[in-house]
Structure 1
Amino acid sequence: MEEAEKKTLGTADIMRIMELLPHRYPFLLIDKIIEIDGDSSAIGIKNVTINEPHFTGHFPSRPVFPGVLLIEAMAQTAGAICVDSRGNDGPPSLVYFMTIDNAKFRKPVVPGDQVHFHVTKTKQRSNIWKFDAVAKVDGQKVAEAEISAMLVDA
């Protein structure tokens, strides 16, 4: 019996992410992407720190990472792998967030947490992608959503 071929998965450090996405501080929400499988799936990572500007108001006495930013980080992870999958086919594209469905927040994310955003492509038609996304801290699900995005040439 032959040993199954091992698939080499890609990664993207912060410099590569900044080539793929137009977002910048304070709105670039992912620090790196690991286990990239083309545009099929990936895991984005966010290191949550108390230095982030939203913690001054959300909430001063008990800082909680905003749920809407968890969803945005899921979308950034998915968008980055969509753009990356184009390879060198012309200038980078813009990725427009189209839909958020079935979003659920399970547990607060706080400073000191490292969030892993697991995105898996469920459908693609032309320049529109749909993903299932799950955010986890220490292997425990903290949020989930179905998201879709459209790539548009800049």
Structure 2
Amino acid sequence: MYMSIMNTQQIMDILPHRSPFLLIDTVEELQPGVKCVAKKNVTMNEPHFMGHFPGNPVMPGVLIIEALAQTGAVAILCQDEWKGKTAYFAGINNAKFKQKVVPGDTLELTTEIIKVKGPIGVGKAVARVNGKVACMAELTFAIG
């Protein structure tokens, strides 16, 4: 059986995010400073579904982007030089949404760090549901 390499508690040891804004549940694959693959189980009891949209719950695109950013932050912040720091958004480029994400879906989040210069970096991020692309973007971050 395939096991996650990090659970929610271990993720919270790296990221400062907490409920309801911690948007990754497990880490499935990790190459520090290079790549992180995480999962988020989308459930009906998440607060944004009360208003987005009543009777037709759809995960907001900005929260999918945030989940991808948190995935990339794990890849960066698990490195010794950045332990205890926070990764802040510095830019979002070429974001595209290909399909809806709804309660019951499992988001498979992959963020690959493609460029780092000092405390600034760029990640290529893709969210999938059942292997199909739901969202993709280029995320720029700054370590603070």
Q: TM-score range by the shorter chain?
A: over 0.9
Task: Indicate whether 1:92 and 2:84 are aligned.
Answer: yes
SS at match of 1:20: coil
- Whether contact under 8 Å (2:36, 2:74) holds in the other structure is no
Higher gyration radius (CA) = 1
CA distance in 1, matches of 2:48, 2:96: 20
Structure 2 counterparts to residues 55-94 of structure 1, below 5 A? 55-86=49-80, 89=81, 92-94=84-86
| 1:39 paired residue number | 33
Deviation at 1:47, TM superposition (A): 0.2
Deviation at 1:38, TM superposition (A): 1.4
- Whether contact under 8 Å (2:76, 2:82) holds in the other structure is no
Q: Gapped runs of 5+ residues in structure 2?
A: none
SS at match of 1:71: helix
Q: 1:90 to 1:41 in 2, by over 3 A?
A: closer
Cα-Cα RMSD? 1.4
CA distance in 1, matches of 2:104, 2:124: 25
| Counterpart among 102, 108, 111 of residue 103 in structure 2 | 111
**TM-score, structure 1 normalization:** 0.87
- Whether contact under 8 Å (2:96, 2:135) holds in the other structure is yes
| Counterpart among 9, 13, 25 of residue 7 in structure 2 | 13
Deviation at 1:90, TM superposition (A): 7.7
| 1:26 paired residue number | 20
Q: Gapped runs of 5+ residues in structure 1?
A: 1-9
Aligned residues: 141
Q: 1:91 to 1:41 in 2, by over 3 A?
A: closer
CA distance in 2, matches of 1:99, 1:11: 29
